[in-house]
Structure 1
Amino acid sequence: MNCRAATTGRLLAGALVLLLAACSSGPERPKPKPLEPITAPIAGRQVWTERIGDVGFPLSVAVNAGVFTVAGSDGTVAAVQADTGKTLWRTSVDGRIVAGVGSDGRFAAVVTREGDLVVLDGGKPAWRKPIGTKVVTAPLVAGERVFVLGVDRRVLAYDVLDGRQLWSLQRPGEALTLAQGGVVAAFKDTLLVGQGPRLAGIDPLRGSVRWEVPVASPRGANEVERLADLVAPVLRLGDTVCMRAFQSAVGCVNAERGNLLWSRVIGGTEGVAGNEQVIVGADASDRLTAWRTASGEVAWTSERLMYRSVSSPLAVGPTVVFVDGEGTVHWMSLDKGEPVLRLSTDSSGAAAAPVASGNTLLVVTRNGGLHAFRPE
């Protein structure tokens, strides 16, 4: 049982009670492994900082044409120039935000606690509409549409210009679902959506299912242990899309043909990152594993960040970047998993997976700090 999921509030109310009860009788999570000194073979520095307000939801930072679009729980949404930190626009929606941000560079979309989908056009309110389902996954803005994934696995499509609902797709699902960002992404002319442990390819114009493939085979004695929803972020490498199934597996799918390339059983709750050679992710104990992208064979493992509550990673050049629960940013080599650079933020931990635009890497913390770094 992964008790870390309970402490970060990843299950909806009914399931959360079950998971907390199970964890209360289990052993406490070990203390974070001390960080070993490193002689950094690469240099790096923090180039700018800003603030957005506390982030208490599974934030997704949108990256478009050199701009980061971010949001805070209090309703603030902002677009920030990646290389300088200059705020291009900043606004507040009427309500606290529980899901976001989706953006295509012009339109930005968030969902409020009251259940409204709010769309901004260049930072100015365009429209808002109640959607009738609980949402924790950032909307996807693509192809003049806004796609929303509900925790009940319902998929909704809206016209980005006027808010007209275009279609709705409801799939059968398990009784319990995660309060953690799920998978909704674009692949050529197909919408990719996580439906429990399955990845579905959907026609974005009609809302019909083109193909569906299981990434994991859930196992366990109860519904909590069998929970295996696909979680964001996903990694796209050409026609290949790789992802994590919550506490169950890591796998890669050919999204052009709709077939599973490989899947490896492993615990863990966060997304994966990598390149054409290796895919990297952390398990429930924060042990890092790299799988060969082509075959899924293990390339290396590392225990250097054990029990440090690391974020989803980001591959940057020859390195993979994690942010731990103390807000420390770790650059590790992709070929061996060795530490090559370590820098600090505000110590509150990551609110989102790190993202990059050009050579600028952004870390957003739970206290609302925007910390931009540039390796040299």
Structure 2
Amino acid sequence: MKKWFGSLLLATVIAGGLTGCSSEEDSVVMAPVPDVKSQFKPESDWSTSVGHGVQHFFSKLRPHSAYGKIFVASRDGIVKALDPADGKKLWETDLGDEHRTYLSGGIQTGLNQVYVGSETGLLYAMDAETGTLKWQQDISGEILAAPVTEGDLVIVHTSEGNLIALEQKTGKKQWTISTEVPNLTLRGDSTPVTVSGGIFWGTANGRLAAAIASSGQLIWQQSIGTPKGATEIDRLIDVDSSPLIIGSTLYTIGYNGQLVAIDLRSGKPLWKRNYSSATNIATDGGKIFIVTDQDHLVAVDARSGTEIWKNHQLEHRLVTEPVLIHNYVVVGDSEGYLYWIDRNTGEFVAEQYVNSSGFAVAPIALQDGGYLLITRNGDVKKLTINQ
């Protein structure tokens, strides 16, 4: 079986797999919308749209800010550059004119180009100033994670377990690292991170891998969890989270695995804690913030892994990855609510309803103090907080 768990159905499918013929009492129940007395109300600066969004499909097309522009994309192949000040379209490219595009692999920039991947295994490079398609490269396997750039390379992680580096200017392949993909995995892939010439990423077989970015030489792999249980679903281990680096320590988390702190130099674990997640983690420098596979929000001390607080009020609401905006932990849910959480206490500070299509990705913070969000139906909004 290929990667087939969609994020919207993940909790329900897993519940069914664990119980066989589930009774009504066994069903996963989404927590109600919390009753939050908001301490502030975000105000809209502007709004626009991009294509039809991602709808209910698994496409992590989070907006990207670079070169004084905001880049957004839709699953049906529309890529736009927007002016951060007023949201006006600077350029628009339709990659779906000649192909069944199905964009899904996030947005990245480098060498004044914009990169985005697709479920059909195509990586596109566009001119950041004009939107002109510079090149496209056919890569075996779905591109579900955002590319990453390092030096003159753009590097993608595919559903077939391959990490592939290409020249940014030409799209020519430079090297490939292959890792094992089990028969059953989550639908999604870890977006790599680079630091000091190294590249780090999670694998579908429950490991964190490290390589030299310039040559593709594998340095080490570290297990993030051990398969347990009687069924294939019980024993599923996948590291879809993007690694997080603070100084000389790397943090990552696996589904049915653990939250692990790893020394970058040796690749050896510093500590491990029993949390399971398939989403990215966030930090304020001293704390690590995670959303568990049950949609519990947790903060742990970055040095020791000690749990600081846990908020379970969003249980099974299909919550996005956490992000830090204005010193708040922010997540969105499947019904279109954004939640603002005190990063020190885990208590709700504000709640914002956007629209019923919900969120596939978290908002992004902008340099002017505002933040940008995109909903599953393609609505794009810039907002600010006036406290």
1:243 to 1:68, Cα distance in 2 relative to 1, 3 A: farther
**One-letter amino acid matched to 1:25:** C
Task: Establish whether residue 231 from structure 1 lines up as the match of residue 240 from structure 2.
Answer: yes
Q: 2:331 aligns with which of 307, 313, 322?
A: 322
Q: 2:171 aligns with which of 142, 159, 163?
A: 163
**One-letter amino acid matched to 2:80:** A
Cα offsets for 1:328-361 (capped at 9, x unmatched):
1111000001111222212211121322122222
Task: Establish whether residue 100 from structure 1 lines up as the match of residue 106 from structure 2.
Answer: yes
Contact 1:62 1:69 in 2 (8 A): yes
- Which residue does 1:372 correspond to in 2? 382
Tell me, in whole angstroms, the C-alpha distance in 2 between the residues paired with 1:118 and 1:24.
Answer: 42
Q: CA deviation at 1:367?
A: 0.6
1:1-376 matches, cutoff 5 A: 8=8, 25-26=21-22, 27-40=26-39, 42-53=40-51, 54-55=53-54, 56=57, 57-94=59-96, 95=99, 96=101, 97-104=103-110, 106-122=112-128, 123-196=131-204, 197-358=206-367, 359-376=369-386
State the secondary structure of the residue aligned to 2:81: strand
Q: Which runs of 5+ in 1 are unaligned?
A: none
Tell me, in whole angstroms, the C-alpha distance in 2 between the residues paired with 1:270 and 1:307.
Answer: 14
Tell me, in whole angstroms, the C-alpha distance in 1 between the residues paired with 2:296 and 2:184.
Answer: 27
| Larger mean Cα displacement after TM superposition, 363-372 or 253-262 | 253-262
Contact 2:192 2:242 in 1 (8 A): no
Percent of residue pairs bearing the same amino acid type: 24
1:158 to 1:322, Cα distance in 2 relative to 1, 3 A: same
Q: CA deviation at 1:279?
A: 1.2
Cα offsets for 1:162-182 (capped at 9, x unmatched):
111111111234222332142
Tell me, in whole angstroms, the C-alpha distance in 1 between the residues paired with 2:303 and 2:88.
Answer: 40
Q: Considering fraction of residues, name the structure with more strand.
A: 1
Cα offsets for 1:79-124 (capped at 9, x unmatched):
2233432333221114322322222372122223432222112221
Tell me, in whole angstroms, the C-alpha distance in 1 between the residues paired with 2:361 and 2:111.
Answer: 19
1:235 to 1:222, Cα distance in 2 relative to 1, 3 A: same
Tell me, in whole angstroms, the C-alpha distance in 1 between the residues paired with 2:108 and 2:258.
Answer: 26
> In angstroms, what is the RMSD of aligned CA positions?
2.6
Tell me, in whole angstroms, the C-alpha distance in 2 between the residues paired with 1:80 and 1:301.
Answer: 37
TM-score by length of 1: 0.88
State the secondary structure of the residue aligned to 2:335: coil
| Larger mean Cα displacement after TM superposition, 212-221 or 324-333 | 212-221
Cα offsets for 1:127-184 (capped at 9, x unmatched):
1121122321222233221111111211111111111111111123422233214231
**One-letter amino acid matched to 1:28:** S
1:262 to 1:172, Cα distance in 2 relative to 1, 3 A: same
**One-letter amino acid matched to 1:250:** L
Tell me, in whole angstroms, the C-alpha distance in 2 between the residues paired with 1:248 and 1:68.
Answer: 35
Tell me, in whole angstroms, the C-alpha distance in 1 between the residues paired with 2:46 and 2:94.
Answer: 23
Tell me, in whole angstroms, the C-alpha distance in 2 between the residues paired with 1:140 and 1:46.
Answer: 31
Tell me, in whole angstroms, the C-alpha distance in 2 between the residues paired with 1:83 and 1:257.
Answer: 45
Q: Kindly tell me the number of residue pairs found equivalent between the two proteins.
A: 368
State the secondary structure of the residue aligned to 1:8: helix
Tell me, in whole angstroms, the C-alpha distance in 1 between the residues paired with 2:13 and 2:374.
Answer: 29
Q: CA deviation at 1:299?
A: 0.4
Contact 2:120 2:141 in 1 (8 A): no
**One-letter amino acid matched to 2:122:** D
Contact 2:330 2:338 in 1 (8 A): yes
1:232 to 1:101, Cα distance in 2 relative to 1, 3 A: farther
| Larger mean Cα displacement after TM superposition, 186-195 or 257-266 | 257-266
1:204 to 1:9, Cα distance in 2 relative to 1, 3 A: farther
